[in-house]
C-alpha cells in the first residue's frame, strides 16, 4: 500500500478506489524468550518502532483511515517480571500507551485509533488468547469486541458511506 513516506505492507486492509485506505490492521508478534535474559522484551523497542512507522506513513497519505494494531505476546510475557523489572506485558502497555486513541483525522499521525496487546497461549493443540486495550492491562477484552470497536470507529470516521448496527458494518441506508 502506498503511504506518505513510502510503500508499506499492512497485514489486513480494506480500501476502495474512491476513498483509498479505509481500515488497516497491523499485526506484530513476540513469541520467543531471549536466550540470555529469559524474557520477551528483547524486540519490544523494534516492534514499537515498526508500528509507529506504519502509522505515520499510512496516516500521512490517508488521514481518515482507521488503523488498528494487534500486538501478540506469548502468555509468558505476563509473568516474566523480576524484582528489578516489570513484566514484558506491563512494559508494553507503558511503552505503547502514547500511541493509541487517535479519535480525529487531524490527530497525531503516529497514533493508532486502537491498539491492543494480545496474550497468546499456543502451546496446546489450539490457540487461546486474551486481548487488552493498550493502557488497560487489568481489563481483558474479547477479541470480537476489539474488532467491533474498530468497525464502529470506521463507521464514525465515514458517516456519509457506512453505518454500524447490530454488530455489522454496512453501507449507509436511506
Q: How does residue 40 score in pLDDT terms, banded at 50, 70 and 90?
A: confident
Measured CA to CA, the distance from residue 170 to residue 174 in angstroms comes to: 12
Of the two residues 127 and 162, the one the predictor is more confident about is 162
Structure-block grid coordinates of residue 98: 502514547
**Cα distances (Å, whole numbers) of residue 75 to 32, 52, 120, 172:** 10, 23, 5, 40
pLDDT at 14: 93
> How would you write 52-120 as a 3-class SS string?
HHHHHHHHHHCCCCEEEEEEEEEHHHHCCCCCCCCCHHHHHHHHHHHHECCCCCCCCCCCECEEEEEEE
Contact 71, 87 (CB under 8 A): no
pLDDT at 31: 86
Measured CA to CA, the distance from residue 85 to residue 77 in angstroms comes to: 12
Query: What share of residues in the chain are helix, strand, coil (percent, to 5)?
Result: 30, 30, 45
For the chain, give every domain's residue range.
Answer: 12-158
pLDDT digits 0-9 by tens, 52-67? 989 999 999 999 999 9
Measured CA to CA, the distance from residue 147 to residue 162 in angstroms comes to: 16
Q: Which of 3-7, 11-15, 52-56, 57-61 has the lowest mean pLDDT?
A: 3-7
pLDDT at 4: 52
pLDDT at 8: 61
**pLDDT beyond 80 at 123:** no
Region 13-28: mean pLDDT is 92
**pLDDT beyond 90 at 36:** no
Contact 81, 128 (CB under 8 A): no
Q: What is the DSSP letter of 2?
A: -
pLDDT digits 0-9 by tens, 100-115? 999 999 999 999 999 9
For the chain, what is the mean pLDDT?
90
pTM of full prediction above 0.85: yes
Q: What percent of the chain has pLDDT over 90?
A: 63
Measured CA to CA, the distance from residue 164 to residue 152 in angstroms comes to: 6
Amino acid at each position: 500500500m502506498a503511504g506518505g513516506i513510502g510503500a508499506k505492507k499492512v497485514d489486513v486492509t480494506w480500501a476502495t478506489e474512491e476513498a483509498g485506505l479505509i481500515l488497516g490492521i497491523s499485526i506484530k508478534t513476540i513469541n520467543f524468550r531471549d536466550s540470555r535474559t529469559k524474557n520477551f522484551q528483547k524486540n519490544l523497542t523494534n516492534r514499537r518502532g515498526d508500528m509507529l512507522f506504519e502509522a505515520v506513513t499510512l496516516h500521512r497519505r490517508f488521514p481518515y483511515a482507521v488503523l488498528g494494531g494487534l500486538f501478540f505476546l506469548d502468555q509468558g510475557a505476563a509473568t516474566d517480571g523480576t524484582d528489578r523489572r516489570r513484566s514484558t506485558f506491563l512494559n508494553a502497555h507503558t511503552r505503547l500507551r502514547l500511541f493509541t486513541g487517535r479519535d480525529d483525522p487531524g490527530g497525531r499521525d503516529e497514533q493508532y485509533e486502537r491498539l491492543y496487546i494480545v496474550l497468546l497461549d499456543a502451546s496446546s493443540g489450539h490457540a487461546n488468547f486474551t486481548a487488552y486495550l493498550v493502557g488497560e492491562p487489568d481489563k481483558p477484552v474479547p477479541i470480537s469486541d476489539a474488532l467491533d470497536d474498530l468497525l464502529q470507529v470506521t463507521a464514525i470516521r465515514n458517516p456519509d458511506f457506512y453505518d454500524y448496527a447490530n454488530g455489522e458494518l454496512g453501507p449507509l441506508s436511506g
